Amino acid sequence: MKILGDAVFAKGADGKLKSRVGTLFLKTPGLVTINGIHAMQRVAWIDELNRERAGRGEPPLSANAVADEIDNSVDLVFTDETVLIRPDPERMDLAFQADEELQKLVSKRKIRFLNTHTAKVRNALRSAGDNWRMARQPESPEEIVAAIERASTAIGFAKAYYYAPYTGTRFLTADGLAEAMKLQGDEFVGQVSEIVKGLKGRNRLGQPEIGLFPTTLPPDLKSDFLALDLASGAEALRAKVDAIALKWRMALPAQLREESADNLEWRNEMSATLARQPNETSAGDEELVKGISPEFYRQIEWLPGGRVRDGRLEFDPLFDEAQRTCDPELLAMCDTRVRSIIFNALRLFSSVEYVNIGRISRSLARNPVEGHRRGQVYFVQFKERCQPDERLYVIRFQKWGVAEHLDEGKDMLTAMYEANQYMDYILDRRLACLQLGMNLPFHVGAGRLTEKYLGENQYHGASVQAFYYARQYIRGTASDKIPPARFANPAFAHRFAQLMGEAAAVDMVVGRRATETGEHMFDKNFEMVQTGPDGLPVRVVVTDHAGSFVNYKHDFSEYVPAYANVMRRRKKFVQDYDAFCSAYVAAFKARLEEMKGEYLAHPRAFDELFSDRPYDQAGSGAFRWSCVLKRLAGCDPAAVAGTLAEACRL
């Protein structure tokens, strides 16, 4: 490829890039990096082509040929380490051609796309299996909260703003305005003057000095501020600002009215606003995955995978680069499990249009259980050509596979046998939970892949199998992530209490506890609350039966008080706590009575379920099942519910 100007990322004696822009030509392949603007670079390219033609005794390019050269060019922007392609959304074919040409000069991981706010750009990248080139880097919830807290700031008066470091804009919120309105006299007038001046002004980056949050507010709110008569006196000015404040509150989306880090929707929107950059190459989570729960905000690390062209799979060239260079960062990015999951999908489905896979490297529970194995969960976005909509799956790897047993020092045959037995045990527990009425995802698929064992056992380097389970993504909000403000609605609180009471009864019967610690697991990320058109809860789906049958020995009375935490931690958010508890306990009692009645009415359907499985009092699945059924048959639902009610009111 011919290059006019310096190489990409070339720096001068001052350590700065010699050029911040470039133009890539695809009709006659070439790259222009001469310092200047894109229009000047196009002129320089045409001049260079005509100079070469003159040297060969040929006439200059015709007007049509010049237009053809320019129409088949792509604008580039250079940062210190990244080439940004600015695609024309209507010509994504050119953008992808430019991408492939640039990969001959720089690593693909250093090439990103601008205009990701445009649906056509996002859809094209998604269809190419390139979600990872749009996604923001993951952050922990603690990091997000800390960044928002650091951003809280004042200018001259009240601490009413949040500072966005990349744009320099200070964002005023509805609560910030309310805080400002606590000021009196001249301080109040000064505060309002500060807001009006900031809304009019631009900083050295050309960005607004002050903006209104969220950025989707009606533009007439800003106009109302700018129309204020600052010389009208404090009282007259306060009346006008009161009217703006009320209008602002009415314009806010319901999910953003509670300004608190406990409100996931507000926290995510504020974090995205503060992280937004002028040359934005990242798409928001909801833009990448329609309808995704807010708890997944910046928790999915999208990874390189592959592209399906004409039904043929091409793995991302970064996998080759990672193996060739052994770059630790690139090796971590090019997850071999992602490659194997895609490989399995293409073996089973012949009409795959695209697959994007990300991993979730940290627990999404509000209070993660200690000892929880990390890096075992993957998020899959999958589309078939014959289906109108994409599908979303969550893949969880079996925590006791062949590799884990080899790590314990076991021989290969024993490790393989125990891993297979554990797979049966997991699926048997799912069936047992369904038999008792737990509301689990309708379909779960089991799969396996082959990978290298890299542990310290003598089998280092051997090929072993890893087992995983795929389920459809369950839409809704995890019970522990529901914004506290929702419970101020008595109808919401009542329905939530009923559904969670029913789910708690099943959870208690199957004895769900963290395997490693025995810790209580209910209401800690697994219970997905789904709402109807009216916004009220309609069902609770348990996304994973992990931890079931861990507690199969103890009497219900010993551990039912822990289920009162569902009520106690929401006490300050509900209007009528007694009614809240009564609904929860009544539903719990009714469901426990129903489960006991079903078992006693049809004992054979339960007692014979695992009759072909090994019965070992050391803790086999069949033995645990018999203990759970015996405990259920012998319980007094009224007494158990009474213990729960007493614990709720402590």
CA gap 153, 165 in Å, rounded: 12
First and final C-alpha spacing in the chain: 76
Check: CB of residue 209 under 8 Å from CB of residue 242: no
Check: CB of residue 506 under 8 Å from CB of residue 595: yes
User: pLDDT-based confidence at 193, cuts 50/70/90?
Assistant: very high
Closest CA to 163 of 200, 209, 195, 217: 209
Burial class, 388, CB count within 10 angstroms (exposed 0-12 / middle 13-18 / buried 19+): exposed
Residue 65: HSE in the Cβ half-sphere, 13 Å Cα cutoff = 11
Residue 206 confidence (pLDDT) above 50? yes
Taking residues 441-447, report their average pLDDT.
93
User: pLDDT-based confidence at 281, cuts 50/70/90?
Assistant: confident
Name the helix (H) or strand (E) containing 239: helix 234-251
Tell me the pLDDT tens digit for each residue of 503-520. 999 999 999 998 888 889
Q: What is the pLDDT of residue 371?
A: 40
Percent of the chain with pLDDT over 90: 78
Q: What is the pLDDT of residue 372?
A: 39
Burial class, 320, CB count within 10 angstroms (exposed 0-12 / middle 13-18 / buried 19+): exposed
Q: What is the pLDDT of residue 601?
A: 97
CA gap 93, 87 in Å, rounded: 9
Residue 287 confidence (pLDDT) above 90? no
Please count the other Cβ atoms lying within 10 Å of the Cβ belonging to residue 347: 9
**Edge-first strand listing for the sheet containing 152-153:** 152-153, 161-163, 170-172, 210-212
Please count the other Cβ atoms lying within 10 Å of the Cβ belonging to residue 407: 14
Taking residues 313-335, report their average pLDDT.
94
Check: CB of residue 267 under 8 Å from CB of residue 258: no
Angle, vertex CA 380, rays to CA 374 and CA 383, nearest 5 = 175
- Cα 172 to its chain centre, rounded Å, is 26
Residues near 371 by Cβ (< 8 Å), separated by ≥ 6?
A: 514, 516, 517
Q: What is the pLDDT of residue 375?
A: 43
Which comes out higher in pLDDT, residue 326 or 310?
A: 326
Taking residues 125-148, report their average pLDDT.
88
Check: CB of residue 318 under 8 Å from CB of residue 99: no
HEC sequence for 261-314: CCCHHHHHHHHHHHHCCCCCCCECHHHHCCCCCHHHCCCCEEECCEEEECCEEE
Residue 523 confidence (pLDDT) above 80? yes
HEC sequence for 388-449: CCCEEEEEEECCCCHHHHHHCCCCHHHHHHHHHHHHHHHHHHHHHHHHCCCCCCCCEEEEEE
CA gap 339, 329 in Å, rounded: 17
Phi, psi of 516 (to 5 degrees): -75, -40
Tell me the pLDDT tens digit for each residue of 466-478. 999 999 999 999 9
Tell me the pLDDT tens digit for each residue of 344-384. 999 998 899 999 999 987 666 545 444 434 348 999 999 99
- Cα 447 to its chain centre, rounded Å, is 24
Residue 160 confidence (pLDDT) above 70? yes
Residue 121 confidence (pLDDT) above 60? yes
Which comes out higher in pLDDT, residue 156 or 31?
A: 31
Tell me the pLDDT tens digit for each residue of 620-649. 999 999 999 999 999 999 999 999 999 998
Compute the mean pLDDT over every residue in the chain, rounded to the nearest whole number. 92
pTM: 0.82
